[in-house]
């Protein structure tokens, strides 16, 4: 297992409240776990964006309703030649 490193983040009040909500809604044991999981999701989305996928389809399993979420940061940057 990789050696753990301590990292300190500074959040403005609004961002800290957002992180606390994510922790509570996701039932994470700590804010660090919430950040760790968020990083995993971000890496997965970035990997898909690297293959040209830039939209996420979500489905309500009860109603079968679907929605498309466009995540602007996933659109690959134009490469300079």
- Which has more confidence, 6 or 73? 6
79 located within any domain: no
| 44 located within any domain | yes
Does 81 have pLDDT greater than 50? no
Q: Which residue has the higher pLDDT, 53 or 77?
A: 53
Q: 34, exposed or middle or buried, with CB in 10 Å at 0-12, 13-18, 19+?
A: buried
Query: Which of 46, 45, 22 lies closest to 32, judged by CA?
Result: 22
Range of the domain at 44: 13-74
**In the chain, how many domains are there?**
1
pLDDT at 21 over 80: yes
């Amino acid at each position: 297992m990789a050696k753990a490193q301590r990292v300190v983040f500074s959040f403005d009040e609004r961002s800290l409240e957002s992180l606390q909500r994510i922790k509570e809604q996701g039932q994470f044991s700590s804010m660090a776990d919430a950040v760790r999981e968020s990083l995993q999701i971000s890496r997965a989305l970035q990997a898909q964006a690297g293959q040209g996928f830039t939209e996420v389809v979500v489905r309500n399993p009860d109603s079968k309703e679907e929605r498309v979420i466009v995540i602007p940061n996933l659109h690959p940057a134009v490469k300079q030649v």
